[in-house]
Amino acid sequence: MNKKVIRLLVLLALAGTILTGCAVGVRAESTPGVTVTEEYVYVAYMQNLYKLDRFNGAQLSSFPERVSTNLAMYAPVVVEDGYVYFGDLANNFRKVSEENLNQVVWTFSEAKGWYQAKPALDGDLVIVPCTDRHIYAINKETGTKTWVYNGEYAFIAQPVVVGNKVIVSAQDHHVLVLNAATGEELYRVEVKGAVLAPPLYDPETDSVFVGSLGREMISFNLTTGDVNWTYGTADLDTIWATPILLDNQLIFTDKNGKIIALNPDTGEELWQNHAGGTVIAGPTLVGDKGFLVAREDGTMSFYSSELQGGDWTVTVPGNIYSKPIVDGNQIFVPVVKADAFIYTYSTTGVPGWSFSPSK
Amino acid sequence: MWDTIIVQPFTNLLLLITMLVKNFGIAIILFTLLIKLITYPLTAKQLKSSMAMQDLQNDPKYKKMMEKYKDDREKAAEVQMKYYKEKGINPFGSCLPTLIQFPIIIGLYQSIMRVMASTPLELVKLERIVYPFLDVNKILPIQNHFLWMDLGQPERLLIGNIGIPVLAILVVITTFIQSKVMQPPTQANDQGAAMTNSMMMMMPVMMGWMAYQFSAGLALYFLASNIATIVQYAAMGRADWSKIFPWVKPNLQPVSNAIIADNEEEDEEEAQPEPVKTVKPSARASAKRQRPKMKK
């Protein structure tokens, strides 16, 4: 082989390596998936699922034992009876032991898409949305498929189980209501845009509240599927997150940062406020005291429902795209573009621990 | 910078086509054809340049010059460049279109991944790069399903429990056909022939491997691009099908001389130095002389 041929082969190999380098490895970008239990915090981010001490942020263990560039995890896990259930971007959904994350009980590999959303638990089933346009109901004991719902687009929001119904946000401008035992579609409610966040269910009024990218908030009756009311104004922007109910007010944010409170029974506007910047994560309840609004730029403010204003504000050193989690007197904030994956605060705004794997 | 110049326009173009045809797979194919159309002048130039360069290997005057200065590399390079100029050949003319393909491939890959946004964070980013005249609410959701493929994932056709990478196989086949039909006529003693043959073996493997590894959307681009190139060459009368199908009569058209003749015309138009006498005869006359030398 002459030099020219060798040079050409080297060049081709180099080009292949560069192009491949652009494409393999982590193929999706998302925020850390955080789940808080009584003792632990689980953080699914990039190549690992981390188990942390809830009170000091110390890393207790991680999955997998050997990091692979072909594996990525972003969906928050669910934990029940000593087991952790989670999916990844390598199309696998697992049940592992809470004691030892690397002790895999079963792996469900039938899906052909990624698991981006938190699953829901319902009796013997774990109900898992997948980007392959399916929702899988997997038997928790055996890891086998009990039913599957075939949709038209990727499912990326956590389903909500209410009695024998599963409420599913769909990107195809619908909210689907399925039979929890069989996966059969009972009915669907049309909305004006893609629904990206889980709906909110109010057991007192049997109402479901959901916002969409179609710049509207709707309420429908879960039993009948009838739409109670629709709220939308000319200056309302897209709605990316689940609303909250506080003091008989339905509170939600739009992307522009407007904070809007409605009467949950009528859809009548009660008041408006502004977070002062882009809000993707939406409001988060802080017990019955008030709520948090975390802006994309990391500014997080606490609002009491009575004052309707920012009572305290902290600047989280990162960008916030998913809802902070409030549990007890702790606030857990998943962030991107920061030194750490998660920052914690007290419910009065005092900074706590943060976690990055290097620590 | 990269995003603004490459990824953003590609993403918006893909979204616009998707909006019009309501199918992301078809949008990728139409996008490929559009790119082919835009880069057609470059492709034509590449063909001319590569053929002209090939022809030089058989040019007695050129050979003589190279032989004369074989011990003085600097002088040989100087004379070589001068001769290229005389002939109106751009020695890098055949590389440029290939090099242009790389940012297109990388840009397209990134655009496909952006359009296939599947997390709120990715959707926010997608929304931000969409031009104002496109309403993101009307665009979303993007249907990532085309035929049996999920365009955001590596393609496998499941038959039983076996996943067959159909697109990757088709990419290998079409890349091989493309290389074969585009291969210029070579002499047995041609130094470039070994290189061309190696490339012909390497390229299909490399492209196939990338199609196997990357998302189906990109593999679809590779396939559509290969087919479009083959059709383009066939339409230009440059494809030699006898290299693939032995029963087909060889295309003995002396492409290289015709190209040099074309170049001469361009030279005349651009008032370049006088054409060299050796290439004065008509293409047909040259063909007659070259026929016995052609490798079958």
Q: Find tokens 């687009």 and name the residue.
A: A153
Eight-class DSSP state of A18:
H
DSSP letters for A203-223: TTTTEEEEEETTTEEEEEETT
Residues of A in contact with B125 (CB under 8 A): 29
Residue A72: give the domain boundaries: 28-161
Number of domains in chain B: 1
Q: Is residue B62 part of a domain?
A: yes
Residue B16: give the domain boundaries: 2-243
What average pLDDT does range A8-25 have in this prediction?
58
- Interface check B98 vs A, CB under 8 A: no
Nearest to B140 among A28, A114, A171 (CB): A171
- Interface check B213 vs A, CB under 8 A: yes
Contact A77, A87 (CB under 8 A): no
Residue A25 falls in which region: left (phi positive, over 0), alpha (psi -120 to 50) or beta: left
Q: Is residue B251 part of a domain?
A: no
Backbone angles phi, psi at A128, to 5 degrees: -125, 120
Residue B64 falls in which region: left (phi positive, over 0), alpha (psi -120 to 50) or beta: alpha
Q: Is residue B221 part of a domain?
A: yes
Q: Is residue A179 part of a domain?
A: no
Contact A133, A155 (CB under 8 A): yes
Domain containing residue A120: CATH number: 2.40.128.630
* CA distance linking residue A309 with residue A305, whole number of Å: 8
Q: Is residue A85 part of a domain?
A: yes
* CA distance linking residue B149 with residue B168, whole number of Å: 12
- What pLDDT does B140 receive? 76
* CA distance linking residue B96 with residue B43, whole number of Å: 9
Per residue in A152-165, pLDDT (tens digit) is 888 999 999 999 99
- pLDDT(A264) > 80: yes
What residues have CB less than 8 Å from B142, skipping those under 6 apart?
Answer: B15, B18, B24, B115, B116, B117
Mean pLDDT score of chain A:
91
The whole-angstrom distance between B214's CA and the closest CA on chain A is 6
- What pLDDT does B22 receive? 85
Other C-beta atoms lying within 10 Å of the C-beta of residue B159: 9
Percentage of residues in chain A having pLDDT higher than 70: 90
- What pLDDT does B183 receive? 67
Q: Along the 296 residues of chain B, how does pLDDT read in single tens digits?
A: 788 888 899 999 999 999 888 888 999 999 989 888 887 887 777 777 777 776 777 788 877 887 888 788 788 888 878 887 887 777 666 666 667 777 877 887 788 878 878 778 888 888 888 998 887 777 777 887 888 888 878 888 878 778 889 999 999 999 988 887 776 655 545 555 666 677 777 888 888 988 888 888 889 988 998 898 888 878 777 667 776 777 767 655 544 444 444 444 444 444 444 444 444 444 444 444 444 444 43
Q: Is residue B283 part of a domain?
A: no
> Which residue in A has a C-alpha nearest to residue B201's C-alpha?
A9
Q: Do B105 and A19 touch (CB under 8 A)?
A: yes
Q: Is residue B230 part of a domain?
A: yes
Q: Is residue A268 part of a domain?
A: no
Residues of B numbered 119-148 whose beta carbons fall under 8 angstroms of chain A's beta carbons: which are they? Answer: 119-125, 127, 136-137, 140-141, 143-145
Query: Coil, strand or helix: which one is B182?
Result: helix
Nearest to B109 among A4, A22, A132 (CB): A22
Instruction: Answer with the residue of higher pLDDT: A323 or B213.
Output: A323
Q: Is residue A19 part of a domain?
A: no
What residues have CB less than 8 Å from A135, skipping those under 6 apart?
Answer: A127, A128, A129, A148, A149, A151, A155, A159, A166, A168, A178, A183
Q: Is residue A17 part of a domain?
A: no
- What pLDDT does B232 receive? 81
Residues of B in contact with A12 (CB under 8 A): 199, 202-203, 206
Q: Mutate which of A1, A3, A4, A5 to disrupt the B interface (most B C-beta within 10 Å)?
A: A5
Give the global pTM.
0.78
Q: Do A156 and B143 touch (CB under 8 A)?
A: no
Number of domains in chain A: 1
Q: Find tokens 């719902």 and name the residue.
A: A149
